[in-house]
Amino acid sequence: MMRYSEISRDLSTDNLRYNELSRKPAATDYNGYTTASTMPVYAATQIAAARPTKQRSPPLTNGNAHTMSCIRDMDKVKGQKDALHAGEAKTLNIKSTRRKNSIGCLNSFSSSPDSPGCYYSMATNTPLPSKSQSLPAHASIKQLDNVILSALRVPADVLANQITLLDFPVFAMIQPDELSSCAWTKKDKHVVTPNIVAFTKRFNHTSFWTVQEILNAEQPKQRAEIMTHFIKVAKKLHELNNLHSLFAIISAMQSASIYRLNKTWACLSKKDRQSFERLKDIFSEQNNWANLRAYLESLRLPCIPYLGLFLTDLIYIDLAHPHKGGLEPEQRRNKMNNILRVISNYQQSDYKQIQPHDITQKYLTSIRYIEELQNIFEEEQYKRSLSLEPTSPSCGPSSSSCSSKESFNVETVTPALGCLNLSPAKTIGSMRMASGTKFVPGHRKCRSLGTKFRSSSLPRNFAQKCQCCIVMIAPGIGTISNKRCRCRRIFGKIAPNHNHSDVGHLHLEHDQNQQLPRHHLLDDSVLEHSDALSNADLTSLESAEGVLYDFTGSDCDLMSPEAAAAMQGCVRRKTVQKEGRKPAVASWQRYWLQIWANSLVYFPPKSFKGSDRSDFKREPCKVCPLDGWYAHVSDNTKHKNTFELYHRTLGTIYKFRTDSPHMTHLWSNAICKLATIRVPKPLPTNLMSFE
Amino acid sequence: MSKKPTAGPALHKVIMVGSGGVGKSALTLQFMYDEFVEDYEPTKADSYRKKVVLDGEEVQIDILDTAGQEDYAAIRDNYFRSGEGFLCVFSITDDESFQATQEFREQILRVKNDESIPFLLVGNKCDLNDKRKVPLSECQLRAQQWSVPYVETSAKTRENVDKVFFDLMREIRSRKTEDSKATSGRAKDRCKKRRLKCTLL
C-alpha cells in the first residue's frame, strides 16, 4: 500500500527529472518528432543529431509503432470521420507492418540487450539487408522512409505523467447530474452524459493503445520489452493514484489478444511479472471488487479513480431504489449522494505539479481511436495476436515462418513434445550445472528422465512413431562431435544388432517396467557423459563450431540413425517458398536446431548473438515432422554453407545456413536419413561430388 | 484464477453479459434479493453472493454483473475469463441488444476457448410482449445454432428468473463433475499450461 507522503516526493523527483529532460537534448528529440510527424520523410543525419545524449545504446531502429503511426497519419492527413474508410486504412497499414517488421527488433535489442532504459532513440524504419546479428550497428541505416514515435521512445514516467494530465480534466468535467441520471448506458448517452462518455473513451483509448503497441512488435522478446515498459508505466500510474489508466493498461494486458501470448509472457522477467500480478490484484472482481474498494479507501488525493466501479454501484442503487416521480426516496438519495460526494472529492485532486509535455501529449492523443469501431479494432488485434503466436502449443512465435500446415502436422507429435520440453534441452542445462558442482548425475537423473518420459501419456505405438526418442533422451546432450561415437557405444552395449526402431522399443519397455538394464544403460551413459563434460569436451559441448574436424564427408554419410537423431546446432533459416508461393519478405532467423524423434525442433534465440546452446531458449518454438521433407545441399556458390529443405507436396522450401560446409552436409544427411526412411530419395548431385 | 473455497458449499461463478439497459442488473437483483431489495448495499463484499439449495445440495452462487460498465470494453476479456457460466441477456424489445449477443458469444468463446461452456441465452422483458421487436423464432434459432438453451424472462414479474440461474448452475455443476472425472481433461491441461507460463525460468 502506498503512502501519501511517498507520492508527493515521487512526484517532485519526477518533476526534476522531467525538467532535466526538457533542458537536455532529449527535448530536441521530441522536437524532432514534431517535425517528423508533420513530415514523415526525415533525413537520417538529422535524426542522428537529434538523438539525445542520454541514450546509452548505439542508435537503431525499431519498427514497432508503425501501425499506430499509420493510424495517426490517417488521423492527421485526412482527419476524416468516415468509419469505413478508417477500417480500410487500418487493414492496409497492418499489411505494411508485416513488411517492416523484420527491421528493428534484432538490432535495436542486440545493441543494448540489457539496457531497456534507452527509450529515446528515434524510430526509424530502415530496410535492412538481413537480420544477421553480425551486422554492425550502423550498417543498416542507409535510407529512412519514415520517422515515428512509439511508446518505447518515451520514458515510462513521462508517459504516466502525461496520461494523467490528459485524464484528469476529462474526469473533473463529469457533472453530478450525469452520474445521477444513470443514462450513460442509454441511447442518448452522448447528450445526457457527454463527460462520462468521454472519460470512458479515454479508458478504452489507453487500453487500445497498449495492446496495439505490444502487438506491433514481431518477436516475443520485443513484445516483452514493450510490455515491461507498460508495466513501468502502470507502476508509475499507481504511484500517481491514477487508477483509471492503471486499470486500462492492466486490462489491456489481460485482453484476449495479449493474455494468450505465452511466448511473450515467458520473456518477461520474474520481477516484472510480479509487479504486474500485484497491480492486477487491485482490480480483481472478486468479492464485489473488495480489493479495489479497500484500496480506494486507503488513498488520499490526488487520485483519479476507476469510475466504472461507481457507475455499477449507481446503476444498482437506481434499480434497488427507483425514483418513481414525486419525492426522491431517502435511501436512494443518501446512497447516491454518498457516491457523488466521493467522486466530487476525487475531482478536487491537484496534479498541477506535473508539467505538461506537449510532444508526449500530442503523441498520446494522436492515436486514433474510434469508439464505434472498437469491435473491429479488437478483432484486428486478435487476428494479429493469432498470427504472431499461433494457437498450437508447439508452434512458434514467428508467424511468418510457421505455416499452418506445419502447425497442423505438429499435432501428430505432440505427445512427444511433453517430454521434449523436459528432456534434451534441459538435460544440457542440468548436465552443465552438474559438471560445475561435481555432482555426478546418476540414478536420480535417469529415473527422472524415465518418469518424465512415462508421464507424458504416450500412445501405444509411440516407440515406432518416434523411432529414436530414447536415443535422443540419453545422448541429447552434447554436439555431434562426440555424439556419434558415444551413441554407438552406448547403444552398442545393449542392442548391437537391433535395428533402430527396435532399440527404441526395447528401451521403452524397460523403462516402463523399471527394470535394471535401463538403469545400467543409463549409468553407463551418464558416466561417459560426465567424462565428456569433464575437460575440454565441455567447450565443444557448448559450441557447435570447431568440433567437426574429425568428420569426413564419407563419415557423415555413414552416419548412424542414432547420430543423425542426435544432431543439433545453431543454424539460420530462411523461407524460400511457402506452399508454392514466395514470401513477401524473408529473412534469416537464428535457431538452435535439433533433430528429435523424426522431427526438426527449433529453439528460438535468447539473445541476438552467439551460437552456443546457452544462447537459445530451452523451450522449443516449432516442431516440424520430417515426413515428406527432403534436404539437399544447395549448389549456390555464393552461400557455401546452405542446404535446402523442401517438401514435395506442400511446395515449401526453407534454406538453412550453418557454420561450415561440414555441418551443412551433416545436417542434410541427417535429415535425409530420418526423412527418407520410408521415401527413397536420390542423392543430390552435390553431395555425390563431395564424396 | 478464483480461489476455491477450502470448505463449505461449492461456489459457482456466474457472469451476466449483455448490452446496457437490457435488465441484467434487474435480473440479478431479483434473484439475489427478491422483495428484500431494501437490504441491498452495493459496496458490500458479499452483495452478489448467495447460498442456495440446488437439487438438495447447498451451493453458493457468485454473480458478476458489470452493469453500467458496458462501455469499458477492455475489461470484459478479463472478467469473462473468471466466469464458469454465462447468462447472455438481451431485451426482446430491443433488436440491437439481440444482435449484440452474437459479439458477446464470440468474445466469450475466444476467451474461454470452449464451445461447451455453460451458457444460456436469455430474452428479458417478456412482460412487454406487445413491444416485442425480436421474434421468438429468431431467438430460438440463434440458441439452436449455438446449442444453448433459450429462456425468456421478466425481471419485473419475476418470471423464469430463478429458472435461468438454477439451470445455469446445474450446467456448471455437471460440467465441473465431468472435468474432475476426466483426470487428464482439457480443463486441467489448460490450467497446467497457464501455470507453466509463470514457472518458466
User: CA triplet A222, A201, B93: central angle to 5 degrees?
Assistant: 120
Q: CB-based contact (8 Å) between B43 and chain A?
A: yes
How far is B92 from chain A, CA to nearest CA, in Å? 16
Residue-level pLDDT at A454: 36
Query: Which CATH number is A151-386's, of 3.30.70.360, 2.140.10.10, 1.10.840.10, 3.30.410.40?
Result: 1.10.840.10
Question: E strands of A19-100, at which residues?
Answer: none
A556-574 mean pLDDT: 68
Higher-pLDDT residue of A233 and A619 is A233
Best B13, B36, B69, B192 member to test A by mutation, with max A CBs in 10 Å, is B69
Query: Alpha helices of chain B — where are they, by DSSP H?
Result: 24-33, 76-81, 95-112, 136-146, 161-181, 186-199
B8 touches chain A (CB under 8 A): no
What pLDDT shows up at residue A682?
45
CA distance to A44, A190, A285, B33, B190, per residue, from A288 (Å): 54, 28, 6, 16, 26
pLDDT-derived band of residue A683, with 50, 70 and 90 as boundaries?
very low
Instruction: Please give the pLDDT value at position B189.
Output: 54
- Residues of chain A above pLDDT 90, percent: 10
How would residue A233 be classed by pLDDT, with cut points 50, 70 and 90? very high
pLDDT classification of A155: cutoffs 50, 70, 90: confident
User: Could you tell me the pLDDT band of residue A250, with boundaries at 50, 70 and 90?
Assistant: very high
C-alpha cell belonging to residue B37: 431489495
Q: pLDDT at position A305, please? A: 93
Does the beta-carbon distance from A186 to B21 stay under 8 Å?
yes
**Whole-angstrom Cα distance, residue A609 to residue A606?**
9
Distance from CA of A297 to the nearest CA of B (A): 12
Q: What's the pLDDT score for residue B190?
A: 54
Q: What's the sign of the alpha-carbon dihedral A663, A665, A668, A670? A: negative
| Angle of helix A443-455 versus helix A414-422 axis, rounded to 10 | 160
Closest CA in chain B for residue A371: B71
Distance of CA A485 to the CA centre of its chain: 39
> CB within 8 A of A355, min separation 6: which ones?
A15, A18, A19, A22, A161
Question: CA–CA distance from A477 to each of A72, A301, A424, A498, A667 (Å)?
Answer: 51, 59, 6, 23, 17
Instruction: Look up cell 487428464; give the residue.
Output: B184
Look at B201 and A265 and tell me if their CB atoms are within 8 Å. Answer: no
The low-confidence residues of chain B, meaning pLDDT below 70, are 1-7, 183-201
What pLDDT, on a 0 to 100 scale, did the predictor assign at position B177? 85
Three-state DSSP at B130 gives: helix
The string of DSSP codes covering A93-124 is: HHHHHHHHTTTHHHHHHHHSTT-TT---SPEE
Asked if B19 contacts B121 with a C-beta cutoff of 8 angstroms, the reply is: no
Q: What is the pLDDT of residue A237?
A: 92
Give the one of A248, A262, A316 whose C-beta lies nearest to B74's C-beta. A248
CA distance A564 to A677: 12
What residues form DSSP beta bridges with A622?
A602
Amino acid at A410: V
Q: Which of residues 137-196 of B touch A (CB under 8 A)?
A: 184, 193
- The average pLDDT across A121-139 equals 37
pLDDT at position B18: 92
- Can you give the pLDDT at residue A137? 37
- Segment A315-372, tens digit of pLDDT: 888 888 887 777 778 888 888 898 999 999 999 988 888 888 888 888 888 777 776 6
- Considering only residues 341 to 380 of chain A, which have any Cβ-Cβ distance to chain B shorter than 8 Å? 371, 374-375, 378
Distances (CA, A) of A581 to A37, A403, A459, A651, B132: 36, 12, 36, 8, 53
- Sequence spans of domains, chain B: 8-171
In chain A, % helix, strand, coil (3-state, to 5) comes to: 60, 10, 35
pLDDT band at A616; cut points 50, 70, 90: confident
For residues A350 and A301, the answer to whether their CB atoms sit within 8 Å is yes
Backbone angles phi, psi at B77, to 5 degrees: -50, -45
Neighbours of B35 (CB within 10 A): 7
- Cα gap B155→B162, rounded to integer Å: 10
Ranges of each domain in chain A: 151-386, 560-676
Distance from CA of A374 to the nearest CA of B (A): 8
CB neighbour list of residue A85: distance below 8 Å, 6 or more residues apart: A78
Sort A255 into a burial class: Cβ within 10 Å, 0-12 / 13-18 / 19+: buried
Of B46, B68, B73, the CB nearest to A314: B68
Tell me how far apart the alpha carbons of residues A601 and A623 are, in angstroms, rounded to a whole number. Answer: 5
Cα of B139 to nearest chain A Cα, Å: 23
ipTM score here? 0.85
Who wins on pLDDT, A597 or A606?
A: A606
Beta-carbon separation of B81 and A254 below 8 A: yes
CB contact under 8 A, B67 and A317: no
Which residues of chain A have a CB within 8 Å of the CB of B111?
Answer: 256
Alpha helices in B34-160 (DSSP H): 76-81, 95-112, 136-146
Output the pLDDT for position A636. 65
Q: Is residue A178 within 8 Å of A62, Cβ to Cβ?
A: no
Q: Mean pLDDT of all residues in chain A?
A: 62
Q: What is the pLDDT of residue A5?
A: 36
Give the CATH number of domain B8-171. Answer: 3.40.50.300
* Per-residue confidence (pLDDT) for residue A248, from 0 to 100: 93
CATH number for the A560-676 domain, one of 3.40.50.11540, 1.10.30.50, 2.30.29.30, 1.10.490.10? 2.30.29.30
Q: Is pLDDT above 50 for A3?
A: no
Q: What is the pLDDT of residues A34-69, one digit of tens each?
A: 333 333 333 333 333 334 433 344 433 344 444 444
DSSP string, A488-542: HHHHHHH-TT--HHHHHHHHHHHHHHT-HHHHHHHHHHHHHHHHHHHSTHHHHHH
Out of B25, B81, B197, name the one closest to residue A265 (CB). Answer: B197
Q: Per-residue b/e over A469-504, b at no fewer than 16 CB within 10 Å?
A: bbbbbbbbbbbbbbbbebbeebbeebbeeeebbebb
| Distance from C-alpha of B16 to C-alpha of B27, rounded to nearest angstrom | 9
Chain center to CA of A217: 8
pLDDT computed for residue B13 by the predictor? 92
Interface membership of B4 toward A (CB under 8 Å) = no
Q: How much is the pLDDT for A656?
A: 83
Task: Give the per-residue pLDDT at A525.
Answer: 39
Confidence of residue A171 (pLDDT cuts 50, 70, 90): very high
Q: How far is CA A661 from the centre of its chain?
A: 33
Chain B residues whose CB is inside 8 A of the A312 CB are: 42, 65-69
Phi, psi of A544 (to 5 degrees): -85, -10
Q: Which residues 81-110 of B are in CB contact (within 8 Å) with A?
A: 81-82, 103, 107, 110
pTM attached to this predicted model = 0.53
Residue B7's pLDDT is 59
- Burial class from Cβ neighbours inside 10 Å (0-12, 13-18, 19+) for residue A670 reads buried
Type of residue numbered A665: H
pLDDT band for position A561 (cuts 50, 70, 90): low
pLDDT digits (tens, 9 = 90+) for A400-441: 333 333 333 333 333 333 333 333 333 333 333 333 333 333
